[in-house]
Structure 1
Amino acid sequence: MSDRTTAELRVAVLGVGMMGADHVERITGRIKGARVAVVNDYLHDKAETIAAGIDGCRAISDPLAAIADPEVDAVLLATPGPTHEAQLIACIEHGKPVLCEKPLTTDVATSLDIVRREAQSGTPLIQVGFMRRFDHEYSQLKTAIDDGVFGRVLLAHCVHRNPAVPPSFDSSMIVKDSLVHEVDVTRFLFDEEITSVHIIKPSANPSAPAGLQDPQIAYFTTESGRHIDAEVFVTTGVAYEVRTEVVGEKGSAFIGLDVGMVRKYSTGAAVGDGRSRAGSWGGDITPSFTERFGQAYDTEIQRWVNAVRSGVNVDGPGAWDGYAAAAVCAAGVRSLDSGRPETVEMIDRADIHAVAASVSGV
């Protein structure tokens, strides 16, 4: 393994579908301090084609061999969720830092096992690709909340709309693949766990595939009693919309309008003459997540590369965050079936800290 602090970070990108290919292009063209050394995909011809266009890059057909390769310093997983468990275990066993696109794994039990294995290794290695944390608007909103601009934040309203989803998309995937981002946003903004989830099923979109419960409304309750609602609508036929509003005792803020953060807050003085005036609002909507969150992905990958080269390995959401998201989504799927609020079942994070402390001898 090369000296990460001085040499370019040699990255293996596993999975070169739409997301993985986008990351290959990103690392090759815009990220400093790293290069794509290995690519892998179950469609080996596709991996070979991509590798042929990058100086010094090889295609390796076996993903576990790609992880173990001595000329690979770090791994980016953009493979299907069911493959993540074995690939993450291999990264831990070989001591390779890894950025894993969500989900961490496809169920709560295996996600918790990954968290425990990483803790037992004694070294943080896993970062999970919840890219919204790196978006400028979400970062600005987080800073305003932490700085107390709105006093205590009491509520949040989220909207997550896609124009379309693949025919294989089912109702539970709306929770596990789409709502999961609002789960992480809630935990990120408020620094506390979600304790219960209630999924409401409005009338289904007539244009949605048969049997797909779309849209869905989710209600989260957090440890301190905050309430967050999230509309998830994945077959709008319009464009890609992601919005978040927080409401506090001293004001509110709104992001996702493609105009930067819009905020309203009290200055302690009366403003205006109290009369309402008519107005208008208009603009374009971003067509897909790659345009809406392109900057966030760039920032996420650059910061991850910098962290790995510095020996920190993780600069963002880690394995615990992936596990917590899986636990909340599992409760969401149960609520989708039961029609009732469901409690989020998680272990105490202190148990994981105890494992890590015992390994380090603290």
Structure 2
Amino acid sequence: MTIRVGVIGAGIMGADHIRNLSTTIGGAEVTYVADLDVDRAAAAAPPSARITTDPSELINSSEVDAVVVASHDSTHSGLVLECFEAMTPVLCEKPLAPTLMESLEVVAADADIVAATGVSLLSLGFMRRFDPGYVALRNAVQSKAQGDPLMVHCISRNASSVPGATSESAITNSAIHELDIIPWLLDSPITEVSWQAGRSTPRAGTALQDPSFMTIRTADGTLTTLELFLNAQYGYTTRCEVVSELGTAALRDSSLLDVEQQGIRQSSIPADWRPRFADAYRLQLQAWISALAMGETPSLAGAQDGLHAALVAQAMIQSLHSSGAYTKVSYS
């Protein structure tokens, strides 16, 4: 069975999804692409796909079996709710929504559908859960071969922030990955967070404190540190080390190419996150398409995962506005 997919958003992330669905994902066909920029949509879409500037036209088309939402964060909740109204399965890029209230609205609507049909229509694009490195790290932690985890150290650096980035959006759009992956790695929910910042790079602008430093405590007592630097200039890197009672386990640095010549070792660093997580995006999309084709529930993150990340992000933003005070996370 071929799943006909409509993709909303033909920017960097949407274009990558279109390319993957058209070339590397078995059982998928991109039949519709929506973007406010019709030329951008046409450039990203396969020749046979329809083009529109109206996402509602795509969602309600008889030529679409499932929808990928890869448009601006501010559009996520509204488009997901439209997919619910059309009873169309949807894979929404993270975050579920930029605000907690919007996330709660989506989760409530998802719960209504599950109550009526027994099945959720929503999958959420926390792709690190499919990254081979993070999967291996989680397996190492869960095996307890090195004893119980004691601390986790994370570093996430980008070459440059997106236009208009703020300290708040750095949490809801970038740090949100760690806010999801840490409880997934440790199998323990986040209970308390703190946000700190020191000197800020002049490239960050006035609304963004960059870099920032966050601490995350989970219910099992493990303390996680996160350095988030969105304007590091040199490229994209992400690191994660789990310190346990008897040893450590860590992800390798991402490198496109290592060259050794004349007594010098050089590494090529990717400009953004896409090369580093290419396998994760591909594996996530294939898991989603295969599950839909088989009539099964996709193994991706879901509505509750998006809500939990949003609740932690809200607590982190509260800490940001409270001079870094430790802030409890409430799931009730």
TM-score normalized with structure 2 length: 0.91
1:168-247 equivalences in 2 (<5 Å): 168-247=164-243
Unaligned 5+ residue runs, structure 1? Answer: 1-6, 260-279, 348-362
Q: CA deviation at 1:196?
A: 1.3
Maintained 8 Å contact 2:237/2:254: no
Q: CA deviation at 1:108?
A: 1.1
Q: 1:338 is paired with a residue of what secondary structure?
A: coil
Q: Could you say which structure has the larger radius of gyration?
A: 1
Of residues 334-343 and 57-66 in structure 1, the stretch that sits farther from structure 2 once superposed is: 57-66
Q: 2:134 is paired with a residue of what secondary structure?
A: helix
Q: Deviations over 1:18-53 (max 9, x none)?
A: 1101111111111110010111011233324444x4
Maintained 8 Å contact 1:135/1:296: yes
Count of matched residue pairs = 319
Q: Deviations over 1:248-304 (max 9, x none)?
A: 112111103138xxxxxxxxxxxxxxxxxxxx9863322210111111111111111
Query: Given residue 149 of structure 2, which amino acid in structure 1 is its aligned partner?
Result: V
Q: Deviations over 1:121-161 (max 9, x none)?
A: 12211111111111111010111111112211111000000
Q: 1:143 is paired with a residue of what secondary structure?
A: helix
Match in the other structure for 1:144: 140
CA distance in 1, matches of 2:125, 2:223: 25
CA distance in 1, matches of 2:13, 2:110: 25
Say whether 1:109 aligns with 2:101: yes
CA distance in 2, matches of 1:204, 1:49: 38
TM-score normalized with structure 1 length: 0.84
Say whether 1:65 aligns with 2:57: yes
Say whether 1:41 aligns with 2:35: yes
CA distance in 2, matches of 1:217, 1:240: 17
Maintained 8 Å contact 2:165/2:207: no
CA distance in 2, matches of 1:109, 1:227: 28
Maintained 8 Å contact 2:32/2:51: yes
Match in the other structure for 1:297: 281
Say whether 1:341 aligns with 2:322: no
Maintained 8 Å contact 2:3/2:28: yes
CA distance in 2, matches of 1:99, 1:84: 10
Q: 2:249 is paired with a residue of what secondary structure?
A: strand
Q: 2:321 is paired with a residue of what secondary structure?
A: helix
1:51-90 equivalences in 2 (<5 Å): 51=45, 53-55=46-48, 57-90=49-82
CA distance in 2, matches of 1:81, 1:43: 17
Superposition RMSD in Å: 1.7
Unaligned 5+ residue runs, structure 2? Answer: 256-263
Maintained 8 Å contact 1:10/1:73: yes
CA distance in 2, matches of 1:239, 1:144: 28
